[in-house]
């Protein structure tokens, strides 16, 4: 049920130089679907309440008493500056859960394509899909600026070891290591098998989503197979 409620910060952890994980308390009966978001209330300089959506980055499990966000701190951004100052025990107002960026069919193969913090809803969807279905292929292509900006590497490696049907690939726009994949996610769609017949989920900024959609269509995939969540 969509609702406005107060929550408490349980933990803030730095993930990279400009990304933090925010863990927030939710009651044990709080329910959401993988891929949904909650909006965080922030007061702007005119004293007006503004809401900024953040994808829930942990999977829905009945007895979870927390949800997590993976937040990029944009310099000077209203919500970013608010989050930068948050600390454990602070109270925040949330609104949700909401959003229709949900797994359409748990029996199909899925390819997930993310840039930067666009990985957030996929950290909820991937464990959720893998726990429902051990046969469908799950492929993730994710981009970061450089190796130091990689998000969730350990968690994804663990999932890859536990689930032979899951593979993930890192792509870097500015790699330090010359053997790393250099480019944008749309340059690495070759990791998707030619006979792939499942659904695509794309998350990140608008420009990347448009480019990925165009490339997938030019590769012969249908628009109806492509679902996306724009962060800007
Ligand atoms: C459905 C949905 C889910 C979202 N989930 C997440 C999430 O999980 N994690 C997350 O970090 N954000 C997420 N966002 C984006 C988030 O809601 C804010 O837009 C973002 O945090 C910037 O808000 P701000 O108030 O700090 O910046 P603003 O004050 O709104 O903007 C400041 C400037 O930063 C630019 N900007 C905004 N976002 C970015 C970015 N990612 N990279 C570079 N420049 C940017 C804006 O264009 C603007 O020029 C989501 C957005 C939507 C619509």
Share of the chain above pLDDT 70, in %: 99
Q: Which CATH number belongs to the domain containing residue 83 in this structure?
A: 2.40.30.10
Total structural domains within the chain: 2
Instruction: Decide if pLDDT at 217 tops 80.
Output: yes
Let me know whether 157 and 91 are in one domain.
no
112 and 140 Cβ atoms separated by less than 8 Å: yes
Residue 106's nearest CA partner among 165, 30, 28, 193 is 165
For atom 6 of ligand 1, which residue has the closest CA? 54
Mean pLDDT over 142-170 rounds to 97
Residues 114 and 218 in one domain: yes
The atom number, within ligand 1, closest to the CA of 76 reads 32
Provide the residue range defining the domain that includes 198. 110-230
Does 84 share its domain with 130? no
Decide if 207 is inside a domain.
yes
pTM value is 0.96
Tokens found for residue 69: 């966000």
**CA 136 to ligand 1 centroid distance, Å:** 32
In this structure, the residue with its CA closest to atom 49 of ligand 1 is 77
84 shares a domain with 122 = no
Gap between the terminal Cα atoms of the chain = 25
- Residue 140: DSSP 8-state: E
Last residue of a domain, one of 43, 76, 98: 98
- Shared domain for 222 and 114, answered yes or no, is yes
The torsion angles phi and psi of 23, rounded to 5 degrees, stand at -100, 130
Instruction: Tell me, in angstroms, the distance from the centre of ligand 1 to residue 2's CA.
Output: 21
Give the closest residue (by CA) to ligand 1 atom 13: 54
Does the pLDDT of residue 29 top 90, yes or no? Answer: no
| Pair 85, 122 in one domain | no
Which residues lie with the beta carbon below 6 Å from any ligand 1 atom? 37, 52-55, 69-72, 74, 77-80, 99, 117, 120, 229, 231-232
List pLDDT tens digits, range 168-191: 999 999 888 888 999 899 989 999
């Amino acid at each position: 049920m969509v609702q406005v409620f107060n929550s408490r910060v349980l933990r803030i952890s730095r993930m990279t130089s400009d990304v933090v994980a925010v863990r927030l308390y939710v009651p044990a009966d709080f329910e959401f679907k993988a891929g949904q978001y909650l909006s965080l209330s922030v007061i702007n300089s005119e004293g007006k309440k503004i809401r900024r959506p953040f994808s829930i980055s942990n999977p829905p499990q009945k007895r979870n008493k927390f949800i997590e966000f993976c937040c990029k701190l944009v310099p000077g951004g209203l919500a970013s500056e608010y989050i930068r100052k948050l600390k454990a025990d602070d109270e925040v107002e949330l609104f949700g859960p909401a959003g229709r960026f949900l797994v359409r069919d748990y029996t199909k193969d899925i390819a997930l394509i993310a840039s930067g913090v666009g990985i957030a809803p996929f950290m909820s969807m991937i464990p959720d899909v893998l726990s429902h279905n051990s046969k469908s292929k799950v492929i993730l292509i994710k981009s970061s600026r450089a190796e130091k900006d990689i998000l969730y590497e350990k968690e994804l490696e663990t999932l890859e070891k536990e689930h032979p049907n899951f593979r993930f690939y890192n792509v870097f726009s500015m790699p330090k290591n010359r053997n790393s994949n250099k480019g944008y996610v749309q340059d690495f769609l070759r990791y998707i098998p030619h006979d792939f017949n499942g659904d695509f989920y794309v998350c990140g900024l608008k420009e990347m989503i448009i480019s990925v959609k165009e490339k997938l269509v030019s590769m012969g995939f249908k628009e109806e197979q492509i679902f996306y969540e724009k962060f800007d």
